[in-house]
Structure 1
Amino acid sequence: MKKVLFIDRDGTLAIEPPIDYQLDSLEKLEFYPGVFRWLGKIADELDYELVMVTNQDGLGTDSFPEDTFWPAQNKVIQAFKNEGVEFAEVLIDKSFPEDNAPTRKPRTGLLTKYFSEAYDLENSFVLGDRITDMELAKNLGAKGIYLSEDPELGVNEIETPKEDIVNAIALTSTDWKAIYEFLKLEDRVTEITRNTNETKIYIKLNLDGSGKNDIDTGLKFFDHMLDQIGRHGSMDLTIKVDGDLEVDEHHTIEDTMIAFGELFNKALGNKLGIERYGFCLPMDDCLAQVAVDFGGRNWLEWDAEFKREKVGDMPTEMFFHLFKSFTDGAKCNLNIKAEGDNEHHKIEGIFKAFAKAMKMAVKRDANKMFLPSTKGML
């Protein structure tokens, strides 16, 4: 299945004339800085079919004659072709907004061929500088990259809730390098629902987040430790668990970490460009050391002893088990060691070091998108 990058023209590739908003002469034609270099790299390195989709209000009428439009349009197409960027299709709607034409963005009348099994619209993008471009993404079942000189203002201008329009990211329209890096690194947001007779679990993970967490497992100390992972690992975590705590804590903790590990492995995807390895840190009297390898094999080495039966509402015997459950799901090696006298400090230090190890290991470099393995697979 082919992924598609649906690209608006004015305000995205070429700077939209600020007075009449019509790019109807060669004198008005000015490209955004970096667009040839970075769109060229997108065309060369990434697996997207490029499609230009543009509304040109009243093209062919007295207010916008075609003979003033085509010289500039042909120059745009030829300039990109000269740099190795060719559009599979160039789709132009000529209607006015009040016409409500089915072919006018955000409607999909020009794009019916892409609603087929040959195209992967779920992982395709609409790239544009207007809310209608983001609405088009929603109507296609694709994702949106919203370009604005003021991204925060632009997103807030969407009258309906952002999530009701599209899963859109806001970037400044002049930063084509950021567009390239975003597309190359891909979105590492995923979710999982895991229901059994013992637990009902929902987890959503953004590996490239900022530590925003919404966690409720029914076990307050477990929530606190999972929050450490999100906060210190710079991940966004939503975890909701309804477990059989009337029996004991075992199923809730075990099943949550199995699901979390499986989700982590899914979010890593093809693992291209990741550091793969990653940390030790002090916490008062404790020294916690966590080493990780996302090499595709599960293993846990554990060197930490606890004298108390519980820390908070969590049995200390479950600490080994929860990390073992994670390694089984995530297919990674973990080596964990903690020294110290205070049991709370030891386990919290382990979770913080675990979070830092995760952050280090999943970090990516857009300029080094190769697999960190001599075997050629992970």
Structure 2
Amino acid sequence: MFEKILFIDRDGTLISEPKKSFQVDNFKKLIFEPNVITTLSILKKNHYKFVMITNQDGLGSKQFPLHKFNLVHNFMLDVFLSQGIKFKDILICPHTLQNNCICRKPQITMLKSWLKEGLLDKNNSYVIGDRQTDMELAKNMNITGIQYGKNISWNDIQKKLIKKNRTSSIFRQTKETKVHVELNLDNYKNSFIDTKIKFLDHMLEQIAIHSNIYLKIYSEGDWKTDDHHTVEDIGIVLGKALKQAIGNKLGINRFGFFTLPMDESIASCILDISGRPHVSFYATFKYQKIGDLSTEMIEHFFQSLSYSMNITIHLNAIGKNDHHIAESLFKAFGRSLKQAIIIKGNKLPTSKGML
């Protein structure tokens, strides 16, 4: 199983680096970087794991005895562990640059076990350090580097990593349909939607545009016979994909509500990412179909999405033109979803302690 790993430098990144000696060999020199513990605690909840990798020049020499290093280093680890932060591996090069060793960063010798095929999620793993050698290490590992320092704080890193990784990919196959949904909640680009039902494609595009998310939806199935299975299963898979991408819901706005017009029609959506599925739907259509989509399947789509995503949705619309009524409903849902998934902090938005 691929893992999201942060390969983190020690001195200058986790703890401050003394300006004169560069060696943290007594407790007076041990100073944790601002917000590092809080950030790592949050990133742990977002399924990141941690590996420490550090160059400790001359470790074990008379100038830098091992016992002095261990006293401070082990105390630092105990502080992290008291907050639930554990490093899966601690990699230390004790050599100086003049030793011309094979293990010193930015070389990857110490990391060979972590670079085995099928272990590392390279798209969502990072090297974090304060020096250019850390960025060179990231390049040698073929992953992204984040240079901690004056312009990037641990709070910045937290926001960047949580936001960047709200993605999902869900594939579902039954005897009736095959549906694949990929999405990204935070990196909008032109979506790709091919459900074989053209009007449904148009409606799903409204969700993508107005919620400002990237959607890739592809389906195959018995749509030529009837659109029921395709619409239902796309609702199910899209709901699961949204639920997976939102993750543990830490910091999300949770609620979304929007009313908008489309010519003579007006639609409203109120939603709650509550962990409880419920749909209230009020809209009347004159005809059985809009293009190649059955109008009765519009409500069923939102029901399927609600129950797979575990959210509450209230939708209502009035108007004279069926196309306008339908499109305004999907636009209103998209706008409400955009409000609800915004991250505004790091707390769970509920008094119950769970959603």
Scaled by the length of structure 2, what TM-score is found?
Answer: 0.73
The answer to whether the 8 Å contact 2:199/2:290 transfers is: yes
How far, CA to CA, are the matches of 1:276 and 1:366 in structure 2? 12
Letter in 1 for 2:280: E
Letter in 2 for 1:343: D
How far, CA to CA, are the matches of 1:172 and 1:224 in structure 2? 46
The answer to whether the 8 Å contact 1:43/1:85 transfers is: no
How far, CA to CA, are the matches of 1:332 and 1:85 in structure 2? 36
Q: CA RMSD in A?
A: 4.4
Among 238, 250, 259, the alignment partner of 1:280 is: 259
The answer to whether the 8 Å contact 1:298/1:327 transfers is: yes
Among 107, 123, 138, the alignment partner of 1:133 is: 138
Aligned-residue identity in percent: 36
State the match for 2:299 in structure 1.
320
Q: SS where residue 34 of structure 2 aligns?
A: helix
Q: SS where residue 181 of structure 2 aligns?
A: strand
Quickly say closer, same or farther: Cα 1:258–1:46, change in 2 above 3 A.
Answer: closer
How far, CA to CA, are the matches of 2:226 and 2:136 in structure 1? 50
The superposition leaves residues 209-260 of structure 1 with CA deviations (integer Å, 9 ceiling, x where unpaired) of: 3253111111222111111111110111111111222212222111111111
Quickly say closer, same or farther: Cα 1:298–1:172, change in 2 above 3 A.
Answer: farther
How far, CA to CA, are the matches of 1:24 and 1:301 in structure 2? 61
Letter in 2 for 1:308: Y
1:174-253 matches, cutoff 5 A: 174-183=152-161, 187-253=165-231
Among 32, 36, 39, the alignment partner of 1:39 is: 36
How far, CA to CA, are the matches of 2:264 and 2:326 in structure 1? 12
Quickly say closer, same or farther: Cα 1:24–1:267, change in 2 above 3 A.
Answer: closer
How far, CA to CA, are the matches of 2:96 and 2:333 in structure 1? 57
CA drift of 1:173 comes to 5.7
CA drift of 1:95 comes to 9.0
Mapped pair 1:302 → 2:298 = no
The superposition leaves residues 248-277 of structure 1 with CA deviations (integer Å, 9 ceiling, x where unpaired) of: 222211111111112222222222222222
State the match for 1:377 in structure 2.
354
Q: SS where residue 357 of structure 1 aligns?
A: helix
Mapped pair 1:53 → 2:32 = no
Stretches of structure 2 lacking an aligned partner (at least 5 in a row): 24-31
Mapped pair 1:146 → 2:145 = yes
Q: SS where residue 26 of structure 1 aligns?
A: coil
How far, CA to CA, are the matches of 1:323 and 1:198 in structure 2? 20
Mapped pair 1:359 → 2:338 = yes
Q: SS where residue 239 of structure 2 aligns?
A: helix
Letter in 1 for 2:217: I
How far, CA to CA, are the matches of 1:49 and 1:305 in structure 2? 51
Stretches of structure 1 lacking an aligned partner (at least 5 in a row): 16-22, 30-34, 61-65, 139-143, 150-170
How far, CA to CA, are the matches of 1:334 and 1:295 in structure 2? 10
1:78-97 matches, cutoff 5 A: 91-93=91-93, 94=95
CA drift of 1:9 comes to 6.0
Quickly say closer, same or farther: Cα 1:285–1:188, change in 2 above 3 A.
Answer: same
